Structure 1
Amino acid sequence: MIGAACALYAVRAGLDVVVVDRGPVAGGTTGAGEGNLLVSDKEPGAELELALLSCRLWREITEARHPDVGRPPADRGLGRAIDGRAVDGRAIEYEPKGGLVVASTPEALTALTALAAGQRAAGVDTVPVVADQLRELEPYLAPGLAGGVLYPQDAQVMPTLAAAHLLRASGARVETGRTVTGVLRGADGAVRGVRTERGDLLAPAVVNAAGTWGAEVAALAGVSLPVLPRRGFVLVTEPLPRRVRHKVYSADYVADVASDSAGLQTSPVVEGTAAGPLLIGASRERVGFDRSFSLPVVRALAAGATRLFPFLEHVRAMRAYSGFRPYLPDHLPAIGPDPRVPGLFHACGHEGAGIGLATGTGHLIAQTLTGKAPDLDLTAFRPDRFAEEAAP
């Protein structure tokens, strides 16, 4: 997803782009995601600023119309790729349905309200919801919850479709099934392209958008980037009539996202999809690239979801799947040029927020590739920040 967004905005900036992937489109973490476009789970700071930018860009992309429908081309703005093809929001199952964060206790509600106040000061739309109003928004919620906060800006896409459509709209050349085995550098140390098992691809800039495998690509260029896999499972129910209207999750989820623990953490997250099934999460644990199925984790997800929505006790699960979030120690992605290797750029390490942050990341990468001042201060995202911490 990140690579697709980088390609889209780089081509729009006038660059020739080749996307190289050792697997199929969305064959890694993107295909194992839920497709969340969230501001609700971000604390005030650099990541929230990136989320707000990305939220705006997702709306602009998906509100675009095809050239023969609706607005004239001059009015399409960021919704028009340079070849005239737009990204159809319906085709990628874009749903601006909003998020509802609920608190089970008065203490959790106090913490959630304080977080929402800080987010609101940073530009997030937040709507306090008292306990009696929760079931007006979500009629099937469990009784007895203390209250919550509604986030109208939260949305969802189908991530595999979104990646494929953004790549198609970009017009970039896409090389799937081709593995990068090295980063080519000149005598001056600057990037000259990449080496693959099917020959070299020459370019004055290389963007590392390898997600969970970003550390491996960085190492090919001779630099360290401590991206680690953080495994998560998603439980998928049978198709249902729309009973869950928003993305609904427990206030504990925000703390789990920010946690540095390597151990298993689960907090209930439930949301519907345009196709009918509910997606149930969320779990986090650092177990390397272990793809083993974990029945205890899936049981914990089911139990948490049933506590939020008791009707789920009688709903069948169709399947479960897992993926690896690209985790960096400070929970912020690496975005922008790497001062250690001229011509090397990074766009990885977004952990579980890569789908939502993709558009903003792609936009900022395109700006830096073309020598423009980025719309956001990239200091917090500097790829070499961990090398500085490791220095004596």
Structure 2
Amino acid sequence: MNIFDHNIKDVAKGNVVAILGAQWGDEGKGKIIDILSKHSNIICRFNGGANAGHTISVNDVKYALHLLPCGVLYNNIINVLGNCMVIHVKTLINEIKKIDNNILDRLYLSDKAHILFDIHQTIDSIQESKKLKEGKQIGTTKKGIGPCYSSKVSRIGIRLGELKNYENFKIKYNELIENLMDLYNITEYNKEEELNQFYNYHKMLKDKIIDVVSFMNKNIDNKKNILIEGANAAMLDIDFGTYPYVTSSSTTIGGIFSGLGIHHKRLNLVIGVVKSYLTRVGCGPFLTELCNATGEYLRKNGHEYGTTTNRPRRCGWLDIPMLLYVKCINCIDVINLTKLDVLSGLKEILLCVSYKNKITGQLLEEGCYPFEENAEETYEPVYEKFEGWEEDISEHKSFNTLPENAKKYVLSIEKYLKTPIAWIGVGPNRKNMITKN
């Protein structure tokens, strides 16, 4: 069964579809996930925690989701939080209450996902403050993501499955908190208050914590339509991203298989979400960054402020070498190009098509990307220039009616990536999405 529009039916014949960010996050994944949700039976998250943020606009009402999959906005869709997530349960419960308490009826959590405690957030702040003093800050969201994954890989973390038996959970909880307080020299921490909260969480969630591996595979066998939504994005992947300025989980296609317990032959289609320009939050290299009026124009027009932190995002030109590198890793089949409308009003638009070594003059090989922390000292972007367009394109319904210069820009991206662009976002709402034939 194919759950997508007829123009890509030859690409995928199956019922499992993944949507992944192809840049540094904030590509606007939420909209295409939300649009395709109505065709789905089950929607899953497989990685990360409350450091991720999707802002969904439905009927001109905005919803900021951090842990919940976008399918929670539909009453008939099952939602799954996968194995490789780190879940701050207090945040999860608050998010449910803000939207609809009935969400819990259609939400399942993996027994293998790790619990993120308040102490992990305390440790995150301690670590980031220390790095700031040393001039080596990463720019984390201070949501405790890294410290929780550290507990996981140190084999001292606590999985959600432990919460089903509260008495056993309490023993493990005390061991973990005492260990972390000693390790980070934390002298005060209200364990009793947090344990009382977790007793309530135990009663609320014990029947919602399941074996997600079995659940996923049974539903795939039963031909249910599965939509998998990625958090963060490829260039923030702990292994493949711009390390150390990355998140702490696998954000690329490999994270799906460990995060949901399905194998690669189960996945039928990968949609890469690409913003029409480039942004990142926090520190790290950014070779096409615009520290000028054009960068400010993109930030203002694109409302480029973090969903989770409200930090202003750094803005720059779209980076083709980055996308080709990401395509190699993720096996991207089709692209959703977002926020094309933000470029309206620019007289000139640049597209980074390669990188040149400043010393040798050689172009970087296709599929490679300059990852050095001081890459800007060695490499410079090679740009192709495009004339801009003035008109507002947010009400356009067809690719053919777009301004000629907008079409040229889109077709050039498609040409360089050798990948079809199936959808183009031209405005903030679900209705502002063109299906390109």
TM-score, normalised with respect to structure 2: 0.25
Structure with larger Rg: 2
Task: Between the two structures, name the one with larger relative contact order (CA 8 Å, sep ≥ 6).
Answer: 1
TM-score, normalised with respect to structure 1: 0.28
